[in-house]
Amino acid sequence: MELKNKFFFVFIIVVYFSVLKAQSLDSLKTQIDTIHTKKVKVVKSDTTKNNSIQKDSLENDSLQIINKMIKEDSLTEIKPIDSLFSSDSLEKTEDTTEKYFKIGTNPKCPSDMVYIEDTIATFKIFGKPIIKKRISFCIDRFEYPNLRGRFPIVNVTIFEAERYCKYRGKRLCKDYEWVSACRNTKENTIYPYGNEYIDYRCNINTRAIAKSGEYKDCHNKFGVFDMIGNVWEWTAGGGVGAYGGSYKNKKAICNTWRAYKLKERREDIGFRCCKDPIF
């Protein structure tokens, strides 16, 4: 009888410790699962954070590139218009002495810009202007960076173009300002130089972008150069697009306009800047 009781007591002890072991294992498994779940959450959180950081990094890199380009461009010496044609490094021609580069100069505008006044129709009925608006503005003589003998800046979005202009204390030209300047205001010409098309007067239907002012006769009566051909020019208002055509066009007039995407870049799209005059 005593032996039987001993076996029973040993059996109870074994069962007790087995239950404790099982509970410990379950508890340990639960703890491991909890730790694993937290780890997964942390990893997901870190992944999201890393993606966000990577996105921010790409955006910052893009801004740094733009800022670097602006900084490098700002280091370029900006010479007054009168001095551009006395430079020994630039070829002088008969028509590019002072004639077309003093027309339009006005104390209301910076020396590298032209002052323009015009009256435009803001509302028409059957093609007849009903409401007219008087406008005045300053416009760059050349495509950005607004220096004769320099290639225009291209491969920029419309936002980057606006950023460049803003850096110079200017802004993108409004579409009606650009067209007004190109069409010689009240004269309303088809081309900057008149109403009859002249082959190769501007950089149209050629193979490459030209330096600003290289086509010495491609200007309006105010001395604003390369408004048709060479590179398209971003403008603000009236839709996302550019005016004037590029060297690739077989023909271009002042009203030549093409729509583009907001973030589009092309090797034949540039811009020029405008500014409100000082009164």
Give residue 11's pLDDT band: very low, low, confident or very high (50, 70, 90).
Answer: low
Our measurement of the distance from residue 72's CA atom to the centroid of its chain's CA atoms, rounded to an integer in Å, reads 17
Least confident segment among 54-68, 192-206, 216-230: 54-68
What is the predicted pLDDT for the residue at 7? Answer: 53
- pLDDT digit string (tens) for 89-147? 223 333 443 454 455 567 789 999 999 999 876 666 666 666 778 899 999 999 999 99
The Cα 86–Cα 91 span in angstroms is 9
Query: Which amino acid is residue 51, in one-letter code?
Result: N
d(C-alpha 103, C-alpha 92), whole Å: 18
Antiparallel, parallel or unpaired: β 232-235 and 269-271: parallel
End-to-end CA distance of the chain: 122
Helices 158-167 & 2-74, crossing angle to 10 degrees? 60
Residue spans per domain, the chain: 78-275
Q: What is the pLDDT of residues 146-176, one digit of tens each?
A: 999 999 999 999 999 999 999 999 999 999 9
The mean predicted confidence, pLDDT, of the chain is 74
Q: 195 or 134: which carries more pLDDT confidence?
A: 195
For 78-275, CATH gives 3.90.1580.10
Mean predicted confidence (pLDDT) in 75-93? 33
Determine the residue type at 39: K
Cβ(171)–Cβ(273) below 8 Å: yes
Kindly tell me if the per-residue pLDDT of 263 is higher than 70.
yes
Interatomic CA distance for residues 220 and 223, integer angstroms = 5
pLDDT digits (tens, 9 = 90+) for 55-70: 444 444 444 544 555 4
**Spatial separation of the C-alpha atoms in residues 231 and 265, rounded to whole Å:** 12
Q: What is the mean pLDDT of residues 5-26?
A: 51
The larger pLDDT score, comparing residue 17 to residue 114, is at 114
pLDDT for the residue numbered 68: 54
Q: Report which of residues 182 and 63 the model is more confident about.
A: 182
Cβ neighbours of residue 77 under 8 Å, at least 6 residues apart? none
**Predicted pLDDT of residue 106:** 74
How many helices (H) and strands (E) the chain has is answered by: 5, 8
Taking Cα atoms as reference points, which of 250, 204, 248, 241 lies closest to residue 226? 204
